[in-house]
C-alpha cells in the first residue's frame, strides 16, 4: 500500500514523466457515475479500478473533508500516473497494487470493514490501449503481452503458442463471441509451426487472413474479438469480476452504493445478473410452489435501464460508445 505522499519513494514512480494527456484522461460516464453514487463529505469510497486516478479524484473532491478514498489497480504503471494526479489529497487517498477480486482483504488492510461507495470501471484504459509495449492493441506493433499486471502470469503469446486448436477455438468463441473461432484457431496453430507468434502485428495478420474478407465487420477490425478474447483469458477477467462484485456487495454498508461500468456484453451480463439476483427475495425456480431457498435481497437496483454515454461525450470520445453503467444500493436490512 502507498499513500499519495509516498510517490517519491516508490521505485516505479516517475514524477513528471507522464504526458499531460495521461494526467488529464477523463473516465467514461464520469458525470452520470458521480450523480448516481451521490458521494458526500465523510464517506469512505473504494475505486476498485483506479487506473490513472480520474474516478478517484472525482470521489475525493466530494468525500473530503473527513472522508477517504482507497484506490486499487493491478497495473503499477497506471498507479504511477494516479500518484501524480492524486498527490494534492495527501493521505486521504491511499493507492493499493492489487486485484479488485480481493477487495475484502484489501479494504481490511486499510483498517476498514465497511464502505459507502464502490466503483468498478471495467475493461482496459486508454493508457494501456495506446501503449504498444503492453500488447493490448493491434493498431501498432508490439509484444503480444496483454497482462494488466505485467509482473506476473502468462502472456497472450504464451496462450497462442501453447493451447491446442480446440482450446483456442473455445476461448475465441466464449470470450470473443467470434464467429470464425475455429478458422482463426487453426490458422494460429498452423502459423506458429514456422515460428512462435510473439507480436501483435503478426497475430493481426493471421486473423485478417483467416476471416473471409466479405465477412469482415463494418464497424470494427476483424481482429478485435480475437484480441478481446485473449485479453480476458490472460487476465481472468470474468471470474475476477464475479468475485469482485460479491466482495463489493459484502463490504458496502447499508445505504452504500455500487457503480459498475462495463464495455462488452460478457461483462454487462455478469453485472446485470449479479445485481438482479442480489435484489431478489427468492431465487427458487418459477415453477416451484413455495420458497425453500432462504435467499434474501441485499441490494436495490437503481438503474432499471442501463445508463449509456450521451451524444456530447461520444463526440469527443468515440471509445465510450459501448460503455454501460449500472448502479445499486445496499439495503438497510437483509432480514
Residue 333 has a pLDDT of 66
Q: What are the beta bridge partners of residue 70? A: 46, 94
- The DSSP annotation for 164-206 comes to -HHHHHHHHHHHH--TTHHHHHHHHHHHHTTS---BHHHHHHH
**pLDDT score at 259:** 98
Query: What is the C-alpha R_g of the chain?
Result: 21
- The per-residue pLDDT for 257 is 98
Q: Which helix (H) or strand (E) holds 121?
A: strand 115-121
What pTM was estimated for this model as a whole?
0.87
Residue 165 counted as domain residue: yes
Please check whether residues 122 and 199 belong to one and the same domain.
Answer: no
Residue 273's pLDDT is 96
- How many residues can be counted in the chain? 335
163 and 250 part of one domain: no
Q: Same domain, yes or no, for 10 and 83?
A: yes
pLDDT of residue 290: 81
Question: Would you say residue 335 lies in a domain?
Answer: no
Query: Considering the domain boundaries, does residue 156 fall inside one?
Result: yes
What pLDDT shows up at residue 23? 43
Tell me the CATH number at 20. 3.40.50.150
Does 253 share its domain with 299? yes
Which H or E element spans position 251? helix 237-251
Q: Is residue 324 part of a domain?
A: yes
pLDDT value of position 128: 85
Give pLDDT < 50 ranges for the chain: 1-24, 334-335
- Shared-domain flag, residues 172 and 27: no
Which of 212, 233, 254 delimits the end of a domain? 233
Domain count for the chain, please give it: 2
Report pLDDT for 129.
Answer: 83
- At 81, is the secondary structure helix, strand, or coil? helix
Q: Is residue 212 in a domain?
A: yes
Q: Quick one: 107 and 161 in the same domain?
A: no
CA atoms within 13 A on the CB side of 201: 5
Residue-wise pLDDT for 70-116, tens only, equals: 999 999 999 999 999 999 999 999 999 999 999 999 999 999 999 99
Beta carbons within 8 Å of 244's beta carbon, 6+ residues apart: 48, 99, 100, 101, 103, 120
Domain that includes residue 103, residue range: 2-127+237-330
Q: Which long-range contacts (CB under 8 A, 24 or more apart) does 10-17 make?
A: 10/80, 10/83, 12/76, 12/77, 12/79, 12/80, 13/80, 13/83, 14/80, 15/84, 16/84, 17/80
Domain boundary among 233, 263, 288: 233
Task: Give yes or no: residues 277 and 294 share one domain.
Answer: yes
Listed residues 233, 249, 275: the one ending a domain: 233
Residues 38 and 187 in one domain: no
Amino acid at each position: 500500500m502507498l499513500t499519495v505522499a509516498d510517490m517519491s519513494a516508490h521505485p516505479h514512480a516517475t514524477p513528471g514523466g507522464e504526458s499531460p494527456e495521461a494526467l488529464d484522461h477523463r473516465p467514461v460516464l464520469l458525470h452520470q457515475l458521480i450523480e448516481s453514487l451521490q458521494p458526500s463529505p465523510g464517506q469512505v469510497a473504494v475505486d476498485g479500478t483506479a487506473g490513472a486516478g480520474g474516478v478517484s479524484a472525482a470521489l475525493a473532491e466530494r468525500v473530503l473533508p473527513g472522508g477517504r478514498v482507497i484506490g486499487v489497480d493491478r497495473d503499477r504503471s497506471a498507479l504511477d500516473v494516479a500518484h501524480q494526479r492524486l498527490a494534492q489529497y495527501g493521505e486521504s487517498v491511499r493507492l493499493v497494487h492489487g486485484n479488485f477480486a480481493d477487495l475484502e482483504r484489501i479494504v481490511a488492510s486499510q483498517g476498514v470493514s465497511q464502505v459507502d461507495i464502490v466503483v468498478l470501471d471495467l475493461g482496459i484504459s486508454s493508457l494501456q490501449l495506446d501503449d504498444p509495449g503492453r500488447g493490448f492493441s493491434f493498431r501498432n506493433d508490439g509484444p503480444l503481452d496483454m497482462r494488466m499486471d505485467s509482473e506476473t502470469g502468462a502472456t497472450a503469446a504464451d496462450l497462442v503458442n501453447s493451447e491446442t486448436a480446440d482450446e483456442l477455438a473455445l476461448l475465441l468463441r466464449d470470450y470473443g463471441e467470434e464467429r470464425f473461432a475455429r478458422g482463426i484457431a487453426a490458422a494460429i496453430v498452423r502459423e506458429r509451426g514456422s515460428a512462435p507468434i510473439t507480436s501483435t502485428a503478426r497475430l493481426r495478420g493471421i486473423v485478417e487472413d483467416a476471416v473471409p474478407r466479405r465477412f469482415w465487420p463494418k464497424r470494427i477490425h476483424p481482429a478485435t474479438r480475437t484480441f478481446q478474447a485473449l485479453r480476458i483469458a490472460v487476465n481472468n477477467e470474468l471470474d475476477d469480476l464475479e468475485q469482485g462484485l460479491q466482495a463489493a456487495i459484502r463490504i458496502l454498508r447499508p445505504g452504500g452504493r455500487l457503480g459498475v461500468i462495463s464495455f462488452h456484453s460478457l461483462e454487462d451480463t455478469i453485472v446485470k445478473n449479479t445485481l438482479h439476483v442480489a435484489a431478489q427475495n427468492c431465487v427458487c425456480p418459477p415453477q416451484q410452489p413455495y420458497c425453500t431457498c432462504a435467499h434474501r435481497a441485499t441490494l436495490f437496483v437503481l438503474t432499471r435501464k442501463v445508463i449509456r454515454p450521451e451524444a456530447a461525450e461520444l463526440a469527443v470520445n468515440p471509445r465510450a460508445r459501448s460503455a454501460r453503467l449500472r448502479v445499486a444500493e445496499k439495503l438497510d436490512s437483509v432480514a
